[in-house]
Amino acid sequence: MKPKKSIAPPLSVPPHIIKSRAAVPAAHRLDIEAILIPPSRIQRRVSELAHIISADYRGKEFVIIALLNGTVMFLADLVRRMEFPLQFDLMGVSSYRGGTSSGDLEFTRPLKLDIRGRHVLLVDDILDTGKTLRAVSAELASLGAASVRTCVLLDKPAGRVGEFTADYVGFVVPHLFVVGYGLDHDEKYRNLPFVGVLKEEVYQAVR
Q: Residue 90 domain-assigned?
A: yes
Taking the C-alpha atoms of residue 160 and residue 60, their distance in angstroms, rounded to an integer, is 31
Handedness of CA 18, 19, 24, 28 (dihedral sign): positive
Percent of the chain at pLDDT exceeding 70: 85
**Number of domains forming the structure of the chain:** 1
Residue 19 has pLDDT above 60, yes or no: no
Is residue 128 among the annotated active site residues? yes
pLDDT of residue 207: 56
Identify the three-state secondary structure at position 110.
coil
Q: Residue 133 domain-assigned?
A: yes
Q: Residue 36 domain-assigned?
A: yes
Q: Residue 3 domain-assigned?
A: no
pLDDT of residue 99: 40
Residue 18 has pLDDT above 70, yes or no: no
Q: Which residues contact 26 (CB under 8 A, 6 or more apart)?
A: none
Asked if residue 171 lies in contact with residue 140, where contact means CB atoms within 8 angstroms, the answer is: no
Lowest mean pLDDT among 3-7, 48-52, 191-195: 3-7
Q: How many Å separate Cα 15 from the centre of its chain?
A: 25
Burial 151-169 (b: 16+ CB within 10 A, else e): bbbbbbeeeeeeebebbbb
Residue 22 has pLDDT above 80, yes or no: no
Mean model confidence pLDDT for the chain? 87
The residue that leads in pLDDT, 20 or 59, is 59
pLDDT of residue 149: 97
What length is written for the chain? 207
What mean pLDDT comes out for the span 123-149? 96
- The pLDDT confidence band at residue 122, using thresholds 50, 70 and 90, is very high
pLDDT tens digit sequence for 66-115: 999 999 999 999 999 998 889 999 999 887 554 444 457 788 888 999 99
Lowest mean pLDDT among 29-33, 105-109, 126-130: 105-109
pLDDT of residue 110: 84
CATH number of the domain that residue 27 is part of:
3.40.50.2020
Q: Which residue range(s) make up the domain with 71?
A: 15-204
- The pLDDT confidence band at residue 10, using thresholds 50, 70 and 90, is low
Type of residue found at 97: R
Q: Residue 56 domain-assigned?
A: yes
Handedness of CA 164, 178, 122, 134 (dihedral sign): positive
Q: Residue 9 domain-assigned?
A: no
The per-residue DSSP string of 6-66 comes to BPPPBP---HHHHH--TTS-GGGTTTEEEEEE-HHHHHHHHHHHHHHHHHHHTTS-EEEEE
Q: Residue 37 domain-assigned?
A: yes
Phi, psi (deg, nearest 5) at residue 104: -105, 130
What mean pLDDT comes out for the span 140-151? 97
Q: Residue 167 domain-assigned?
A: yes
pLDDT tens digit sequence for 129-138: 999 999 999 9
Beta-strand runs (E) in 98-204: 100-109, 119-127, 147-155, 168-172, 178-179, 195-198
Taking the C-alpha atoms of residue 158 and residue 15, their distance in angstroms, rounded to an integer, is 19
* Bridge partners, 155 (sequence order): 127, 172
Percent of the chain at pLDDT exceeding 90: 73
Residue of 31, 56, 124, 128 marked catalytic: 128
